[in-house]
Amino acid sequence: MGHGYPIPPSTVSAVTSADPRHGRWILPLMIAAMVVLTYTFVNGIEPAASPTGTTSDGPPFPTSPTSSSTTLPPELAAFMVTLDIIENQATAYGDQVDQINTDWETRAALFNETRTAFLEVREEITDWETDVAQAEGVPPILAAGHVELLIQVSHLAPKIDDIVLGLEAPNDTTLRKAAVAEFATEIDQVLDAIEAIRETARTGGTTTSTAGNGSDA
């Protein structure tokens, strides 16, 4: 029994046709609201009081020596990383020379191989000496220690020359063995210089070095 009246469009059907799953936005909105409320609530909580009546934002800072560099000013802490690299390389050169010498003594390597190996280490140390001298970011408070380190590093390559001369000496192992021992001592001097720089960084330069000072008593 149609009367010819136009039927108005249904609002519900319009929403349905435009977005048949309009309820899908409810859950994400609820999650976002919960995240915001949780963040606001957590940041509004006062830090828990410690037994001494003070507040703490986290666990106590570790007091082990491995964490000491993190308490230094940034420029000092950065140079400590450079020192670690220098220390590792110096130790590696000491081990390398010792191994070459051991291979020669046990005849695991021939004369020419041994001589070439020593000379290659010498060349590497010479290049490394330049790298140490040109190390960037040396803080002024550590400049004197860096100079002392360079002096000790500069003694290494000549000791390799002494080792090679001892290797070439006919029927005499004394020179070579003495030179190898002296090279090991020079490596120790380099490591001591590195540790002295670290100590200066830790104490702010207030520690007076007693190296080479004797008693007048």
Q: What are the tens digits of pLDDT across the range 100-158?
A: 999 999 999 999 999 999 999 999 999 999 999 999 999 999 999 999 999 999 999 99
| Sign (positive or negative) of CA dihedral 38, 40, 42, 45 | negative
pLDDT tens for the chain, residues 1 to 217: 444 545 444 444 444 444 444 444 444 455 555 544 544 544 554 444 444 444 444 434 333 333 345 588 999 999 999 999 999 999 999 999 999 999 999 999 999 999 999 999 999 999 999 999 999 999 999 999 999 999 999 999 999 999 999 999 987 799 999 999 999 999 999 999 999 999 999 998 554 444 444 444 3
Q: Give the pLDDT score at 70.
A: 55
> Distance between CA atoms of 119 and 164, rounded to whole angstroms?
8
Please list the residues that pair with 55 across neighbouring strands.
49
pTM across the whole model: 0.63
Q: How many CB atoms lie within 10 A of CB 167?
A: 19
82: left (phi over 0), alpha (psi -120 to 50) or beta: alpha
CATH of 68-203, one of 1.10.10, 1.20.58, 1.20.1440, 1.25.40: 1.20.1440
Q: Give the pLDDT score at 206.
A: 53
Contacts of 176 (CB under 8 A, 6+ apart): 101, 163, 166, 167, 169
